[in-house]
Amino acid sequence: MTVAFFSGKGRRIGVALGAVSAGLLVLSACDKPTPLATVTVGSDSVNTEAACYNDGEAIKESLIQGCLNKKADKTVKISMDDKVRFGVDPEIAENGWTLFINGQQAEQEPYKNTYRTIPGNAFLASQTGQTAEKTTVSIVETKGKKLTGIWQFEFKNKDKD
């Protein structure tokens, strides 16, 4: 003789509760996306998540140079005459951010706004007087003297194509 422990309605409720519990477990395991940084030239915009990010905490000193030397996932074509617009999420601007060019800090003081414009020739001029074919530009979030996030872009000289 078989005895039903749960009625049809009870089984459906149990299955629904199990599905909801499994869904919540999966969502809690998801990583929160990093803030975005955006570069716009003309009408073309490219955005990326951080190459290195420690959820707003300082990146370990031993990892910083490796992060700055990472190959950028996003490429932006610019010319000497272009205006290059940078945009960051408000939480990046709140802490402050600065630009690094080819792994070297290009500015001393962090910028605290979400948006700024810089001429393209600032990224393509080389020390020899020639124009560079490509340049790695990093947006670096700072918190005091600590680096907390690094976003990478490769700028290619569209006049050298």
Mean pLDDT of the chain: 84
Question: At residue 19, does pLDDT exceed 60?
Answer: no
Q: Which of 77, 78, 96 is nearest to 88 (CA)?
A: 96
CB 87 within 8 A of CB 126: no
How far, in Å, are 8, 10, 14 from residue 5 at the CA level? 10, 9, 12
- CA atoms of 72 and 51, how far apart (whole Å): 8
Q: 150 or 145: which carries more pLDDT confidence? A: 150
Question: At residue 17, does pLDDT exceed 70?
Answer: no
Mean pLDDT, to the nearest integer, of 68-93? 95
Question: At residue 122, does pLDDT exceed 60?
Answer: yes
User: pLDDT band at residue 152, thresholds of 50, 70 and 90?
Assistant: very high
Q: 2 or 69: which carries more pLDDT confidence? A: 69
From 17-31, 97-111, 114-128, the region with the lowest mean pLDDT: 17-31
